């Protein structure tokens, strides 16, 4: 199985020794996401609705790169 590391500026950069996602061709394994704005690297201090929307946007950025 070939593994391709997925990295994008549309999601927060990893802060540890992991990738934003790994694409195996048949599956895409995404790392956990938190409500960090990728353009500022700041944690969003909004409501749970606002934080969830940002997390989903970040995941969408990873998916679009894969």
Assigned superfamily of 4-65: RutC-like (3.30.1330.40)
* pLDDT band at 1; cut points 50, 70, 90: confident
| Mean of the per-residue pLDDT values of the chain | 94
User: Is-contact 33 59, C-beta < 8 A?
Assistant: yes
Q: Could you tell me the two tokens for 34?
A: 């938190």
- pLDDT above 90 for 15: no
Nearest to 31 by CA among 20, 15, 23: 20
């Amino acid at each position: 199985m070939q593994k391709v590391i997925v990295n994008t500026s549309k999601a927060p950069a990893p802060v540890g020794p992991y990738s934003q996602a790994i694409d195996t061709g048949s599956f895409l394994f995404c790392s956990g996401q938190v409500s960090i704005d990728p353009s500022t690297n700041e944690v969003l201090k909004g409501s749970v609705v606002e934080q969830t929307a940002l997390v989903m946007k970040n995941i969408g950025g990873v998916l679009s790169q894969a």
